[in-house]
Amino acid sequence: MAKNRLQELHDVGQSIWLDSIDRRMLHDGELDRRIRDDALTGMTSNPTIFQKALASSNAYDEQITEAEEIDAVRDAEDREGLTSWQVFELLETTDVRDACDHFAAVYSSTRGADGYVSIEVSPGVAGSADATIEEARRLWKTVDRPNVMVKVPGTYQGAIAVRRLIAEGINVNITLLFAIQAHERVIDAYLAGLEDRVKANKPIDGLSSVASFFVSRVDTEIDKRLDALITKAAPAEKERLEMLKGRAAIANAKLAYRLFTQKFAGPRWEALAKKGARVQRPLWASTSTKNPKYRDVMYVEELIGPDTVDTMPPATIDAFRDHGAIDRTVDKKVAAAEGLLKEIEAVGISMEEVTEQLLDEGIASFQKSFDELIAGLESKIGSLAPGGK
C-alpha cells in the first residue's frame, strides 16, 4: 500500500496542522481520524474560523443554554451576568481545551515539540501590548493545558507582548506576519523572552513558539498591482509583468525561512539551546490557493522543509493527500527568490507597502469576523431563550 502523501510530508520534517476547528469534529471522530491517518499534529483557530463554526452548527446550543441559565440565576441574585463576549470565550476555550486533549498523545510522544492548538487574542487588543498580555494570560489560564498556544498579532506592540509572555512561560503563536522585518522582530522577541527566563533562573525547555508567516495573500495583492501595471504597459513589458505573477508569496516565504536558519544559529542561540530551548518554527499560513489558475497545492509544495509547520484548511489537506508532490523545496532557489522580489520592487511595487497593507487588512478582517460572531451569538442566545424564535 502506498504511503499517505501527508505522512510523507511529515516524514521530511514538516508538521501538518489543521486550520479549522468546530465542535462537531471534536466529537464525531473526524479529528482523531485525521490525527491517525493524515499525520495531523496540531490545530489553529481564529475569529473567522469560530464565526463560521458558530454560524453553521447547533452543536453549541446546549452550552449556550446552560450559560444563559446560570446567567438568569445571577440576575435573580443581583449579580453581574455574562456578556456575549464572555459566552463566546466560554465556548471557544471549551473547544480549544478539548482539542488540546485530542492532541495530548502527540504532545507527549514528541516531548512537547508538537501537538499544539492555538487560540487567538481578540483583534481589538492588537494595538496594545498590555491589553494583549492581559488577555493572553486569561486564555492561557482558562484553557489550562500545556499544549495550548496563544496567538498574538505580529504588530510592533505584539512583539513587545511576545517577549513578556515567553518570559512568563506562555507558549505563543505570532500571527499575521507578512514582512521579513516583522518576522525578525518576533524572532528577537522570542529569544529575548527566553533570555529573560534564564536570568530569572526559570526553565526554558518546556516552551514552544511558532511564527505564522502568511503566504497566498501576498500574491493576491501583488498580482492585483501587477494587473494594474499590465493594462498600461507596452506589449513587450506586459509579458515581463505577467511572468512575475503568482511568484512573490513563495519567494517572500523562502527569505523568511532563510532568516529563521540564520537567527537560530551562532553563539546567542547555542547558549539557549544548551538549556533546552526549542527553535521558533516558521508556520506557513494562508496556504490555500486563492487564484483558480494556480495549482491548488502550490503553496504547500514549494515550502517543504525541516522545522516548519504548514497549517491548512481541510480542502487543502485533502488536495495534497490526493496529488501533492513531496520534495525539500523551502531552501532551494533562494537567490532566485531574492532576485524576483528585487524585480517586483523595480517595476514600482513596494513590498513594504504591500505587507503593511496586508497586516492592517488582516486585523480588520478578523475584527469584522469577531463583530459578526458576537452579533450572531447574541441572535442565537435570543432564539434559544424561553419564548425566543
Distances from the Cα of 199 to the Cαs of 24, 167, 169, 196, 340, in angstroms?
45, 10, 13, 5, 43
Confidence of residue 74 (pLDDT cuts 50, 70, 90): very low
Choose among 69, 26, 138, 123: nearest CA to 372. 123
Q: Which amino acid is at 185?
A: R
Phi and psi torsions of 142, nearest 5° = -70, -45
Q: Can you tell me whether residue 76 is helix, strand or coil?
A: helix
Per-residue pLDDT tens digits for 92-123: 999 999 999 999 999 999 999 999 999 999 98
- DSSP of 158-177: HHHHHHHHHHTT--EEEEEE
Q: Is the pLDDT of residue 78 over 80?
A: no
Chain centroid, CA 339 distance in Å: 28
pTM: 0.93
Confidence of residue 273 (pLDDT cuts 50, 70, 90): very high
Q: Can you tell me whether residue 272 is helix, strand or coil?
A: helix
Q: Can you tell me whether residue 213 is helix, strand or coil?
A: strand
Q: Tell me what pLDDT residue 387 has.
A: 58
Choose among 155, 154, 122: nearest CA to 139. 122
Spatial neighbors of 94 by CB under 8 A, at least 6 apart, are: 63
Distances from the Cα of 361 to the Cαs of 17, 217, 352, 365, 367, in angstroms?
24, 10, 14, 6, 10
Provide the annotated active-site residues. Answer: 151
Per-residue pLDDT tens digits for 228-237: 999 999 988 9
Per-residue pLDDT tens digits for 154-164: 999 999 999 99
**Inter-residue contact 295 to 323 (CB < 8 Å):** no
Distances from the Cα of 98 to the Cαs of 26, 63, 145, in angstroms?
7, 14, 10
The CA distance from 111 to 270, in Å, is 20
